[in-house]
C-alpha cells in the first residue's frame, strides 16, 4: 500500500513513510532504493555524510518511476555549514544525485558551538528561491534553535527530523512543531529494538498479528508524524511498509506513551558538533 501524505507548510506534500538510507552500504544503495520504490515507497531520505547519494540517485533512475513521483531528501553536513559553503555543498549533492533539484534539503545538525546554522539557513532560503531545492527544513533542532531561525529570517522550516521512538517521545518538541506548523519526522524510529519486548508493544502485536516493528511504526503514523525506517532486505522493506491496514486503539496508544524514558540512541543536539 502506498503511504499516506502530509502537507508541508509551503504547500508541498511529503509521504508519511519513507526509506532511510543511513548506514546502507554505497555498493547496495541503488539496488535497495530501486527495490523499495518497486514495493511502493515514494520517499528516499539521504544525506551527504552517508556517502551514498550516488546510489540514491541511481536507484531512483533504476526504478523507472517519473522523477516527480519520488521525494528526495538530503542534508547539509556540519563541516559544510555557513552561507557559501552550504551553496557549494548542495551543488555537490545535486551532482552526486545527478538531479536538477532536491525535494527537501535539511540542515543535518544545529551545531550551536559553530554558530553557523542561521547563515546556513539563509543559503537554503536562497536555493529554494532559485528552484534548486523545493522545500527546506532542519534536523535535530531544539526549540531555541527553531525560534532563532524564524526570529532572524522569518522563514519557518517545513520539517524537523528528530530522534523519536517509544523510549524518546519528545512530546514537548512535537507540540512546538504543531504550533509552528512544522512536520515532525522520526529517525531511528524503532529505537534499535529496545522496545520490542515491552508489554504494550507485545500486547498490540498479539492482538493485531503484526510484528513489534510494525506496531511501533504504526504508533508513529497515529501520532501524525512522518517516519523513515531503514532496511536493506526486500522482506524487511515490505514489512515496514505494511502498516496502513490496521489501527492501534486509544488504550494501546496510551500504553505506548508510558514507555518514554527520555533515552537517546544518538548524540545530544545541544552539544554535538
| Active-site hit among 24, 29, 50, 162 | 50
pLDDT band for position 1 (cuts 50, 70, 90): low
Q: Per-residue pLDDT averaged across 57-68, rounded?
A: 98
Pairing of strands 5-7, 13-15: antiparallel
Count the helices and strands in the chain (H runs, E runs): 10, 10
Residue 218 has pLDDT above 80, yes or no: yes
* Nearest C-alpha neighbor of 220 from the set 210, 211, 208, 228: 228
Query: Any idea what the Cα angle at residue 223 is, between residues 219 and 229, rounded to 5°?
Result: 55
Residue 254 has pLDDT above 90, yes or no: yes
Q: How far apart are CA 98 and CA 168, in angstroms?
A: 36
- For residue 146, being part of any structural domain is answered with yes
Contact 125, 156 (CB under 8 A): no
Pairing of strands 133-139, 102-107: parallel
Q: Per-residue pLDDT averaged across 240-268, rounded?
A: 97
Q: How far apart are CA 106 and CA 217, in angstroms?
A: 22
Residue 2 has pLDDT above 80, yes or no: no
Task: Check residue 131 and report its DSSP letter.
Answer: T
Cα dihedral 78/49/170/244 (nearest 10): 150
Q: Per-residue pLDDT averaged across 122-131, rounded?
A: 98
Residue 170 has pLDDT above 80, yes or no: yes
Number of compact structural domains in the chain: 1
- For residue 65, being part of any structural domain is answered with yes
The proportion of the chain whose per-residue pLDDT surpasses 90, expressed as a percent, equals 99
- For residue 178, being part of any structural domain is answered with yes
- For residue 93, being part of any structural domain is answered with yes
Q: Over the range 146-184, which residues count as b (16 or more CB within 10 Å of their CB) and which as e? A: bebbeeeeebebbbbbbbbbbbbbbeebbebbeeeebbb
- For residue 205, being part of any structural domain is answered with no
Q: What is the pLDDT of residues 3-41, one digit of tens each?
A: 899 999 999 999 999 999 999 999 999 999 999 999 999
Q: Per-residue pLDDT averaged across 174-194, rounded?
A: 98
- For residue 142, being part of any structural domain is answered with yes
Query: Any idea what the Cα angle at residue 244 is, between residues 242 and 249, rounded to 5°?
Result: 120
Q: Per-residue pLDDT averaged across 186-199, rounded?
A: 97
Report the CATH number that the domain containing residue 175 is assigned in CATH.
3.20.20.100
Residue 165 has pLDDT above 90, yes or no: yes
Q: Over the range 118-131, which residues count as b (16 or more CB within 10 Å of their CB) and which as e? A: bbbbbbbebbbeee
Q: How far apart are CA 70 and CA 60, in angstroms?
A: 8
**What pLDDT sits at residue 136?**
99
Q: What is the pLDDT of residues 140-158, one digit of tens each?
A: 999 999 999 999 999 999 9
Task: Check residue 3 and report its DSSP letter.
Answer: P
- For residue 157, being part of any structural domain is answered with yes
Q: Per-residue pLDDT averaged across 239-259, rounded?
A: 98
* Nearest C-alpha neighbor of 101 from the set 67, 143, 126, 54: 67
Strand partners, 137: 106
Q: How far apart are CA 194 and CA 94, in angstroms?
A: 36
Report if pTM > 0.95.
Answer: yes
Contact 110, 269 (CB under 8 A): yes
Residue 50 designated active-site? yes
- For residue 116, give its domain range: 9-193+221-232
- For residue 201, being part of any structural domain is answered with no
**What pLDDT sits at residue 3?**
81
Amino acid at each position: 500500500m502506498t503511504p499516506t501524505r502530509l502537507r508541508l507548510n509551503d504547500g508541498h506534500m511529503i509521504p508519511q513513510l519513507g526509506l532511510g538510507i543511513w548506514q546502507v552500504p554505497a555498493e547496495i544503495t541503488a539496488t535497495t532504493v530501486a527495490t523499495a520504490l518497486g514495493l511502493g515507497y515514494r520517499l528516499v531520505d539521504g544525506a551527504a555524510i552517508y556517502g551514498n547519494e550516488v546510489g540514491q540517485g541511481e536507484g531512483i533512475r533504476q526504478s523507472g518511476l517519473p522523477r516527480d513521483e519520488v521525494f528526495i531528501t538530503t542534508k547539509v553536513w556540519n563541516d559544510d555549514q555557513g552561507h557559501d559553503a552550504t551553496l557549494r555543498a548542495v551543488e555537490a549533492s545535486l551532482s552526486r544525485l545527478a538531479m536538477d533539484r532536491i525535494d527537501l534539503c535539511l540542515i543535518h545538525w544545529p551545531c550551536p558551538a559553530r554558530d553557523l546554522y542561521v547563515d546556513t539557513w539563509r543559503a537554503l532560503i536562497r536555493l529554494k528561491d532559485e528552484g534548486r531545492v523545493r522545500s527546506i527544513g532542519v534536523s535535530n533542532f531544539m526549540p531555541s534553535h527553531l525560534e532563532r531561525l524564524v526570529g532572524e529570517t522569518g522563514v519557518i522550516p517545513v520539517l524537523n527530523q528528530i530522534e523519536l521512538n517509544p523510549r524518546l517521545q519528545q512530546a514537548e518538541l512535537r507540540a512546538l512543531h504543531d504550533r509552528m506548523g512544522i512536520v515532525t519526522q522520526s529517525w531511528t524510529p524503532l529505537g534499535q529494538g529496545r522496545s520490542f519486548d515491552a508489554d504494550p508493544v507485545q500486547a498490540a502485536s498479539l492482538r493485531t498479528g503484526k510484528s513489534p516493528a510494525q506496531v511501533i511504526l504504526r504508533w508513529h503514523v497515529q501520532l501524525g508524524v512522518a517516519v523513515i525506517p531503514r532496511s536493506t532486505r526486500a522482506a524487511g522493506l515490505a514489512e515496514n511498509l505494511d502498516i496502513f491496514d490496521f489501527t492501534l486503539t486509544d488504550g494501546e496508544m496510551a500504553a505506548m506513551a508510558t514507555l518514554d524514558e527520555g533515552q537517546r540512541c544518538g548524540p545530544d543536539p545541544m552539544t554535538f558538533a
